[in-house]
A and B are shown apart, each in its own frame.
Chain A
Amino acid sequence: MNNIRTQLLICQGTSCVSNGAVEVVKAFKAALKEAKLDKEVEIITTGCMGICELGPVMVVYPDGVFYQRVTPEDTREIVQEHLLKGRVVQRLFYKKPDTGELISIMEEIDFFKLQKTIARRNCGIIDVNAIDDYIGADGFVALGKVLTEMTPQEVIEEIKKSGLRGRGGAGFPTGLKWEFAAKAPGKQKYVLCNADEGDPGAFMDRSMLEGDSYSVLEAMMIAGYAIGANQGYIYVRAEYPLAIKRLEIAIAEMRKYELLGKNILNTGFDFDVEIRIGAGAFVCGEETALIHSIEGKRGEPRPRPPFPANKGLFGLPTVLNNVETLANIPYIILHGAENFASMGTEKSKGTKVFALAGDVTNTGLIEVPIGITLREIVYNIGGGIPNNKKLRAVQIGGPSGGCIPEEHLDARIDYESLKELGAIMGSGGLVVMDEDTCMVDIARYFMNFIQDESCGKCTPCREGTRIMLDMLTKICQGKGKMEDLDVLEELAVRIQDTSLCALGQTAPNPILTTLRYFRDEYIEHIRDKKCRAGVCKSLLKFEINPEKCTGCTVCAIKCPVKAISGEKKKPHKIDQNICIKCGVCYDACRFNAIKSH
């Protein structure tokens, strides 16, 4: 038997893999063999550690030393210096963005220190493929407890008591949903896992499935026991090939250990699970659309009632839960509802995983107690805005959400307070936007996305979002009118009220919040034909600074419409009547002589 004295935990999430994490593992294996340490040092290929900006990342245990941006070429030095001689490799340490201070221990880095991992408790720790690692981390103990010590009703009561709410966006109380399905008559019922994480900017569920799919599978079985279902489906979006692969491995391992199939743990409980892959339709994240997709149909929603808890997949009682919601379940069963409910706010219990992206220093995944402020997330954990830029807004809730300006950064994030601000918790995508962002263009961007993804079934969404998109596009082109703002607002409310599903009902949210907080920017676009962020090309004016221009003629040569004139070695000039504002000259100029404003 090998005497393992050190473990190298190396992240194998999609981000780190794209940056060479698989090659890093290979290189370590070779370096360890060379140093004759391969019997004493173990490599653990873990799921996402969360700090995607700095990948490939790894942790050396038991020291707890954290290395970032590790390349295959670094592995030999780490083995020779750190593992053999006990001399840590400082150049690979985390560097604090404001002070430049180097921090060696993972737990001392703010990004990790300020988090509380419940759903992500195993991500970055257990080996992604090893069921034994999951079992070693109390895996399936919750399932065992539920099957041998609790009745289905007791399980439901515990989840209700925890206050867990759906983490996919709607925030519906999970225990209540299970109770409805449990009470619905019928022998055949289903448990569905919604892994169709379509919100742009959100990757919490992907990381969860890549790093700890066992938690999700265990939770589905607990849900099955609670409601009386013995069949589950996981609907994963096609854009997540690695998550699908890891799920397939996990399911195969569970079958080998007889943790799926008939008579699980000798309790008479049967449960099996099937993966169904999406095909690129955002609307299939909506409950009834997802169900139709599994049924082999077009992913179009339908009116409710009847609710899926009574009439869902194939017309039978069905519970659909988001990946992150499910990941919390084993923890609640093991540690108790009160423990979970001790975190969070009065009406929003527990923790939430956020995907921090956009103009922020530390992009990645974080899990924090609900009730934390946006300021703490963006600055303390996220490390602030890079390049000394100012914050413009934080977009939260994806295309169904809203843009929160600087003045509300100290609001506590929970389901209720975000609603008051005009946004929603959503799935957890948090996109930070700096001063170079045009908020009108952002509203247009989201409306464009919604228009593309609208299934087309109901008129308010299909036609209404087209009209709103056209109006926003005109405003971005400097062709808007002041009356457009009133029409947009009225249309937005109508579409909210009359669309068939949440896609249409929440589509106007980005417009409504940007009108609420950034109205002056809309007015500038319309009245002054000005885009202060310099994003809306039609409103830009490109001008050559005669003092900086060297007359090198590069811009004139590259201009596709011959709008630039001037003699060699003399300052050039752009004819504004011909200029199409493509920006080619701006990109080509090596002397910073062209200004856009």
Chain B
Amino acid sequence: MSKMTIVEPKASPSREKYDQLKKFIVENKDKRGYLIPALYKAQELFKYLPPEVMEFIAQEMNLSESEVFGVATFYSYFKTNPIGRHTITVCMGTACYVRGAQKILDELEKKLGIKEGETTEDMRFTLGCQPCFGSCGMAPVIMIDNHVHGRLTTNMLDAILEQYK
């Protein structure tokens, strides 16, 4: 069995984040299958999941690194690249698609100067798509952070984006 790298976070602003993450893992050590909540906690603290954070989780939870990487890369909510301060998710569910979601996505790509999956240079917005948030009654819909904006037309986008610095 190969030697596992022991991750020792350097004393730095992120040291505190590692401590909080460790505390979370320890507090929940009796809960079975708690890797996904741990990844969520890590993403909340570090804003995304860099390799060293995933290695840290593997070490603290006594899992193999490949298992942690395998789970993190399976689920679309986990980001292994840095993301912007705000995440815009365009719903591409059937109801939204039928009511013009593609146009909304095209317009956002144009306005922000990035393609789906990318982040603006000033790290303000990350743009993505999700199949459906279940807000079909207000299609088409986008979610920015945890807020749902519905009944969209392309000329509403500027005012909405303004709210998010």
Contact = CB atoms under 8 A, between A and B. Distances in A.
B95 A357 contact: yes
B45 interface: no
B78 A279 contact: yes
Interface in B8-60: 31-37, 39-40
Interface in A550-585: none
Interface residues of A, number: 56
A240 B32 contact: no
A374 B115 CA distance: 39
Contact of A433 (B98, B136, B137): B98
A280 B93 CA distance: 13
Do most interface residues of chain A lie in helix, strand or loop, or is the interface mixed?
mixed
Interface string A295-306: 111110000000
B38 to A, nearest CB: 8
A314 B32 contact: yes
B76 A280 contact: yes
Interface string A156-190: 00000000000000000000000000000000000
Nearest to A51: B137
B64 to A, nearest CB: 12
Contact of A359 (B93, B98, B135): B98
B98 A431 contact: yes
Contacts, number: 145
A279 B132 contact: no
B150 interface: yes
Interface in B91-105: 92-99
A220 to B, nearest CB: 18
B147 interface: yes
Contacts of B133: 239-240
B148 interface: yes
A321 B31 CA distance: 22
Contacts of B147: 18
Interface string A316-353: 00000000000000000000000000000000000000
A395 B95 CA distance: 10
Given A199-B132, A241-B146, 4 more contacts: A197-B134, A200-B95, A203-B134, A297-B35
23 contacts: A15-B137, A17-B148, A19-B151, A198-B131, A200-B92, A202-B136, A239-B130, A241-B146, A274-B31, A278-B75, A280-B75, A296-B36, A296-B71, A297-B67, A299-B74, A355-B137, A365-B137, A395-B94, A431-B98, A431-B136, A433-B98, A445-B94, A453-B131
